[in-house]
Amino acid sequence: MVRLNEIRAGEVAVAAPVADDAGLVYIGRIHTPWTDRLACPRQGRLDGPSCRIELFEPWVAALDGLAAFARIEVLYWLDASRRDLVRQSPANDGTTRGTFALRSPVRPNPIGTSIATLVAIEGNILTVRGLDCLDGTPLLDLKPDRTLFTPIAPPQPGDFETES
């Protein structure tokens, strides 16, 4: 069941500190087919509908090289979420779990992340498949899918450390 902002049976809210959002900068806006949280996918799928990511200046130059990756990680700010629940009831049936055991949009810092198929980059517009957010959701970051990415910088000692 999709939550708007209600508290459900068994859930626990706390007095969350006033957020200053750690100085995050919205670097773009995501355009999706969904205008209602009740209609969004729970999780995006790689063959889902095309979505457009509009990147704002001065960040467009930072796209150089990204087109080489078939999949990218998209991080976004689930801006309509409440942020004060420590226990949640996803099924709204009175059973609850801790927020950090869920991928619910309701969390102290409502960061969403999806792996998306990169369809095209044209100027400041990326076309992707695999998102699950509302139309207009603020964009936080873009990265190559980690499973496709080999670090370019030379290795560091920590790269070779295992549990001793």
Residues that bind ligand SAM (CB under 6 A): 2, 37, 40-44, 78-81, 103-105, 112-114, 132-134, 137
Query: Judged by CB, which is closer to ligand SAM: 123, or 145?
Result: 145
109 vs 125: CA distance, rounded Å: 26
Give the angle subtended at the CA of 36 by the CAs of 12 and 135, to the nearest 5°: 110
How far apart are CB 135 and ligand SAM at their closest, in Å? 9
CB atoms closer than 10 angstroms to residue 129? 18
Token pair listed for 117: 């198929």
Measured from the CB atom, the residue of 37 and 66 that comes closer to ligand SAM is 37
CB of 109 to ligand SAM, least distance (A): 11
Cβ neighbours of residue 160 closer than 8 Å, sequence gap 6 or more: none
> Residue 113 or 127: which CB sits closer to ligand SAM?
113
Q: Nearer Cβ to ligand SAM, position 12 or 135?
A: 135
Q: In this structure, are residues 13 and 84 in contact, taking their beta carbons and an 8 Å threshold? A: yes
Per the CB < 8 A criterion, the answer to whether 66 and 121 are in contact is yes
Distance of closest approach, residue 43 Cβ to ligand SAM, in angstroms? 5
- Output the smallest distance, CB 156 to ligand SAM, in A: 29
